[in-house]
Amino acid sequence: MQNQGAVTAITAKRLTLALAAAGAIGGAVGAIAVNHNNAVAASAAAAAAPSTYVAPAPLAAPGTQVSMALPDFTQIVSRMGPAVVNIRVMSGTKTAFKGRAQQREPQFDEDDPFFEFFRRFQGPQNPRGQRDRPVFGAGSGFIVSPDGVILTNAHVVRDAEEVTVKLQDRREYRAKVLGSDPKTDVAVLKIDAKNLPVVPIGKSSDLKVGEWVLAIGSPFGLESTVTAGVVSAKGRSLQDDNSVPFIQTDVAVNPGNSGGPLFNTRGEVVGINSQIYSQTGGYQGLSFAIPIDVAYRIKEQLVATGTVKHAKLGVTVQEVNQGFADSFNLASPEGALVSSVERGGPADKAGLKSGDVIRKLNGQPIVASVDLPAMLSTSKPGEKVTMDVWRDGKIVQVGAKLGDASEKAAPEERVETASAGAGSKLGLALRPLQPIERRQSGLASGLLIEDADGAAANAGVQPGDVLLSVNGRPVNTIDQVREVVGKSNKSVALLIQRGSDKIFIPVRIG
């Protein structure tokens, strides 16, 4: 994680996010779990057949007894099951010690009478008592075209040297990896087959929280396993993975489910099962799927070119908490706070600044900072976006043309020269940077924080930080700091340079 305040992903204390394809090899199923995927299929004719769906009963008046039937998934399983595939991967070799062979054995000359005896007893070994073993993994996938195009997770086929796809009718095919995108964890495979059953593709954007969903896959190598649950939340961004607006469900998924489909009650694929939160390595009620709207956009690029281009805005954002809301006079702690802007990037060209709070993107509200990269994940380089930005106490509209995330960022611009300093009621001892400090830090200006106590220390400000701005306004002198702080009633937002990171820290002054 980044330093304090620089948070752009959901953090779960004491929870371990395991992203492993995890295979059950020779009964060894105790793997760190897990990204999970399942595959589901259906013939074109079968896909047209109606599925069984029990509509929810209308809400009854208070005090009235309600009888509600659960959905019947049997028709979905029978029609879509044939398009779910099991994926086995061999990804090179690893060196393993062979028992006690790593111990140093007696050494004899070839003329020694004991030489032949010990040679026969020990058997053939390499000089260090090691041997190479292939590394195996397993996952799931689903067929999306009759000529053998299959969707799965990128982590399932990572570093794969050989990929085998097994259909529900027990036929097996060698598969070619057409391309994979680690950023969104989507991969596309191709097998040499015709007239295969396929799954219908739905719209993940139409999903509603509380809606029933179904997964089919091969957890722990148990093929065609069916599990069901409900949509727990939408638009989730995970720790170290905020480029995908995940669908959170309580569907049971485990190692081997990775890459498999998530169905709605109409039998349409709405996601690819990918990850879980777990303390044990196994399922604990929190599973996450890649929305099919995102996955299919990636699939089209991979099939066409074998590569994927991602859009970028060129900003670093962090969460808006109550302290920031008070500092910037926001009515509610919502939006994405811009902590830094890439020099020469799309945001810089559009006029975005550190301290801006992005409240909407293309008319869609941004509640948490992680909403911004999730929304951008469905965009392409060159697209134009419109943002509602809170700046200086009012909303301004900013338009930007998205860039290519593969383009290298230019060196970051720095503010101008600093001047003398003293203390402030924030509990900070400040002074301008010395020439040698500016050279070492790469900063042209700033106020070095020599000491921090009171409110500033409680907020996490540390000696050695460099103060760049207060409430979004650059400060080069102590008088400027006092002026901005004097106009604030509850808290101020300090933009701090700490190492190579820029972070906002809210400090309560009331």
Q: What is this structure's pTM? A: 0.64
At residue 84 the predicted structure's pLDDT band, cuts being 50, 70 and 90, is: very high
Of residues 339 and 421, which shows the higher confidence score? Answer: 339
Query: If you search the block for the tokens 């089919």, which residue do you land on?
Result: 216
- Report domain extents, the chain: 17-50+72-305, 311-404, 423-508
- Asked if 510 and 491 touch (Cβ cutoff 8 Å), the reply is yes
Does 125 score more than 60 pLDDT?
no
Fold of domain 17-50+72-305 = Thrombin, subunit H (2.40.10)
CA triple 452-457-461, angle to 5 deg: 80
Which member of 181, 185, 371, 388 is catalytic?
185
Of residues 469 and 486, which shows the higher confidence score? Answer: 469
CB atoms within 10 A of CB 382: 11
Q: Assess if CATH 2.30.42.10 describes domain 311-404.
A: yes
State residue 438's pLDDT score: 67
CB atoms within 10 A of CB 10: 16
Structure tokens at 94: 């690893």
Give the Cα separation of 431 and 314 in Å (integer).
Answer: 31
Does 358 score more than 50 pLDDT?
yes
Of residues 193 and 343, which shows the higher confidence score? Answer: 193
Give the Cα separation of 52 and 79 in Å (integer).
Answer: 11
SS3 350: helix
Q: Which residues pair with 338 in a beta bridge?
A: 317
Residues near 94 by beta carbon (within 8 Å), at least 6 away in sequence = 132, 133, 135
Does 453 score more than 90 pLDDT?
no
Kindly state the average pLDDT of the residues 457-477. 85
SS3 439: helix
274 is a catalytic site residue = no
State residue 17's pLDDT score: 37
The DSSP code for 82 is G
Give the Cα separation of 466 and 103 in Å (integer).
Answer: 55
Amino acid letter for position 259: G
155 is a catalytic site residue = yes
State residue 121's pLDDT score: 43
State residue 110's pLDDT score: 52
SS3 293: helix
- Asked if 469 and 355 touch (Cβ cutoff 8 Å), the reply is yes
Instruction: Give the pLDDT confidence of 268-282 residue by residue, as tens digits.
Output: 999 999 988 877 777
State residue 471's pLDDT score: 86
Kindly state the average pLDDT of the residues 141-151. 97
Instruction: Give the pLDDT confidence of 30-79 residue by residue, as tens digits.
Output: 333 344 433 333 333 344 444 444 445 555 555 555 545 788 899 999 99
Does 116 score more than 50 pLDDT?
no
Give the Cα separation of 112 and 415 in Å (integer).
Answer: 79
At residue 354 the predicted structure's pLDDT band, cuts being 50, 70 and 90, is: confident
Does 104 score more than 70 pLDDT?
no
Kindly state the average pLDDT of the residues 443-461. 83
Kindly state the average pLDDT of the residues 190-214. 95
pLDDT-above-90 percentage for the chain: 40
Which member of 180, 237, 258, 354 is catalytic?
258
Residue 255 CA: distances (Å) to CA of 40, 71, 369: 17, 26, 31
CB atoms within 10 A of CB 146: 15
User: In CATH, what is the architecture of 423-508?
Assistant: Roll (2.30)
- Asked if 189 and 167 touch (Cβ cutoff 8 Å), the reply is no
Q: Return the minimum-mean-pLDDT range out of 75-84, 388-397, 454-463.
A: 454-463
State residue 329's pLDDT score: 87
State residue 341's pLDDT score: 87
Does 115 score more than 80 pLDDT?
no
Query: If you search the block for the tokens 């720790």, which residue do you land on?
Result: 239
SS3 442: coil
Give the Cα separation of 375 and 394 in Å (integer).
Answer: 23
Amino acid letter for position 29: V
Most confidently modeled of 101-110, 120-129, 361-370? 361-370
Give the Cα separation of 284 and 229 in Å (integer).
Answer: 13
Q: Return the minimum-mean-pLDDT range out of 97-101, 388-392, 500-504.
A: 97-101
Polymer length in residues for the chain: 510
Of residues 411 and 136, which shows the higher confidence score? Answer: 136
- Asked if 202 and 264 touch (Cβ cutoff 8 Å), the reply is yes
DSSP conformation letters of 308-330: ---EE--EEEEE--HHHHHHTT-
b/e sequence 207-216, b meaning 16+ C-beta within 10 Å: beeebbbbbb
Kindly state the average pLDDT of the residues 367-390. 88
Give the Cα separation of 312 and 315 in Å (integer).
Answer: 8
Kindly state the average pLDDT of the residues 452-469. 86
State residue 103's pLDDT score: 42
Instruction: Give the pLDDT confidence of 289-326 residue by residue, as tens digits.
Output: 999 999 999 999 999 999 998 899 999 888 898 888 88
Q: Which residues pair with 90 in a beta bridge?
A: 136, 162
Does 197 score more than 70 pLDDT?
yes
Amino acid letter for position 79: R
Strands 186-191 and 172-181: antiparallel
Catalogue the E-assigned strands of 286-433.
Answer: 287-291, 311-312, 315-319, 336-341, 357-361, 364-365, 384-391, 394-401, 403-404, 423-424, 428-432
Instruction: Give the pLDDT confidence of 384-433 residue by residue, as tens digits.
Output: 999 999 998 899 999 999 999 887 765 443 333 233 333 346 788 888 77
Give the Cα separation of 256 and 276 in Å (integer).
Answer: 12
Q: Is the dihedral of CA 343, 347, 353, 354 positive or negative?
A: negative
> Is 423-508 in the same CATH topology as 311-404?
yes
Kindly state the average pLDDT of the residues 227-249. 86
DSSP conformation letters of 136-193: EEEEEEEEEETTTEEEE-TGGGTT-SEEEEE-TTS-EEEEEEEEEETTTTEEEEEES-
- Asked if 505 and 10 touch (Cβ cutoff 8 Å), the reply is no
371 is a catalytic site residue = no
Residue 248 CA: distances (Å) to CA of 36, 85, 273, 290, 318: 13, 23, 10, 9, 22
Q: Return the minimum-mean-pLDDT range out of 112-126, 396-410, 478-492.
A: 112-126
Query: If you search the block for the tokens 């799927």, which residue do you land on?
Result: 289
At residue 357 the predicted structure's pLDDT band, cuts being 50, 70 and 90, is: very high
Which member of 36, 51, 140, 155 is catalytic?
155
Q: What's the chain's average pLDDT?
A: 78
